[in-house]
Amino acid sequence: MNKFYYLLLTAFVLFFGYGIITKKSNDSIKKERRVPCQERTTTFEKISNKNLATEAIKLFESGNFTIKSRIEQSIYMQSKILNYIDSKKADEILLEKIKPYQKEQISNNKKLLIDYYILENDKEDKGKKSPKSKIFAGYLVFEFILDDKLIYKIQSDYMKIDTSDIPERMACVIKSFITLKETK
């Protein structure tokens, strides 16, 4: 009888332990406050591959990256975002925010992909149910990809219709990415 209870208890612990571990490792993007600048607006992040993060950061710091960007305009309300920013201007801002982290340029065949988009919050979208979902002007979503593997994903709201706070949010995204080397 003791063996039966021991086996039952072991199975119970393994079952729930596996569920907790699996749940934690499969979490989707989550709201974070890992870096102080993430407290200024709503920010979500997902660290997908810590093992490749160090290599990705080295490539980033040595200038071995490519940028892929786009702007996603609102559909239901009249879009205004292109009055203030376009992909070319956004890339220029991003490169300016990256500059302080650049070290010696080292040529490498491997490249980190920085894939991002800026989304204009469509406040007339009928799917937005709460007034809270209409207070931000839009958000930025960045993915850092190496060898076709997602390393890091971050989403951060910007609050100003004129997009004047996007440079600050981009600086926070880069800071958040760089600090991955500290989260081992």
Query: Residue type at 138?
Result: G
Average pLDDT on 82-94 reads: 97
Identify the band that residue 4 occupies on the pLDDT scale cut at 50, 70 and 90.
very low
Give pLDDT tens digits for 5-14: 443 334 333 3
Give pLDDT tens digits for 118-175: 999 999 888 877 888 888 999 999 999 999 999 999 999 999 999 999 999 999 999 9
Q: Give me the phi and psi of 69, to 5 degrees please.
A: -140, 160
Give pLDDT tens digits for 57-85: 999 999 999 999 999 999 999 999 999 99
CA distance 12 to 15: 5
Strands 112-120 and 65-72: parallel
Give pLDDT tens digits for 12-62: 333 434 333 333 334 455 555 788 888 888 899 999 988 899 999 999 999
DSSP codes, the chain:
-HHHHHHHHHHHHHHHHHHHHHHHHT--SEE--SSGGGGSS-EEEEE--HHHHHHHHHHHHTT-EEEEEEEE--SSS---GGGT--HHHHHHHHHHHHGGG--S----S--EEEEEEEEE--TT-TT--SGGGGSS-EEEEEEEEETTEEEEEEEEEE--TT-TTHHHHHHHHHHHHHGGGG--
State how far Cα 14 lies from the chain centre: 33
**pLDDT in the model for residue 176:** 94
**pLDDT in the model for residue 12:** 39
Among residues 33, 23, 66, which one has the least CA distance to residue 154? Answer: 33
What the block records as the tokens of 60 is: 């980033």
CA distance 166 to 11: 51
Q: Which residue has the tokens 């079952």?
A: 15
What the block records as the tokens of 53 is: 């993060």
